[in-house]
A and B are shown apart, each in its own frame.
Chain A
C-alpha cells in the first residue's frame, strides 16, 4: 500500500517570501504524484501533477514541484507568495495503472502574514 507524509501541519510565511511545502511518499510500485489546494469550505483544486518525464513540474498560480525518486519526495515551492495563497495544501499519490484513486497526506495549512 502507498502512503503520503506531510511533515509540516502549519507553515506561516510573510507575504512575498518564498515557501516550500514538504511531501514524502512510500510505495512498492510506481505512482503518480499530485498537489491539491483547498480553500475554506471548498473542494479540492489540482495545482500540479507528476506523471513522467521532467522531474520539475510547473502548475497554476506560480507553484512548482520537483519529483525526487531517490528521496521519495515531491516538495511544492513558490518563489513569492501572496495573501491569496492562504489555504490548505494536500499532497497525494495514485497508482500508475488502473483508476485514479488518490491517497492523500494530512495536509499543510499555509498562512500568509501581511
Chain B
C-alpha cells in the first residue's frame, strides 16, 4: 500500500465554479478526515468519517461544502460556487479505528492545493 492518495494535487478554478477532490485512504483504515490549511496556518479540521458515516463536521464547513464516503472506502470533498477565500491546501488523513488500545496516528496524504481566481 502506498499510503493516503489525493487527487488532483493542484486545482485552479474560476470563482463561482464547483470543484471536487478525491481521497483514497490506506486500505484497512476505517476512519477518514478532511482538513484545510491556509497559508501560514496549521491544518484545521473540517469533517470526519467512520466507515461511510459522517460523524462530525466543523462549523468551518459551510453549506457550500459537502463530503461523502459512499462505500466506506474513498471520499470526495465538493465545494460549490467557489470563492477566493476557499483557496487553500485540502488535506486528507486516515486512521485505523479498529485497533485496540489508544488511538495513535492519523496518516496524511500530500494534499490538494486549490487556487480560486
Q: Which residues of A contact B (CB under 8 A)?
A: 4, 9, 32, 34, 36, 41-46, 49, 51-52, 90, 92, 94, 96-107
Contacts and interface: CB of A to CB of B under 8 A. Distances in A.
Contacts of B33: 99-102
Nearest to A42: B110
A101 B45 contact: yes
Contacts, number: 76
Binding site secondary structure of chain A:
loop
A37 B42 CA distance: 11
Closest 6 CB pairs of A and B: A104-B42, A43-B108, A44-B108, A43-B110, A100-B106, A100-B95
B111 A43 contact: yes
B25 interface: no
Interface string B84-108: 0000000101010100001111111
B48 A99 contact: yes
Contacts of B106: 100, 102
B111 A99 contact: no
B105 A46 contact: yes
A4 B42 CA distance: 10
Given A43-B110, A99-B97, A100-B31, A106 B103 contact: no
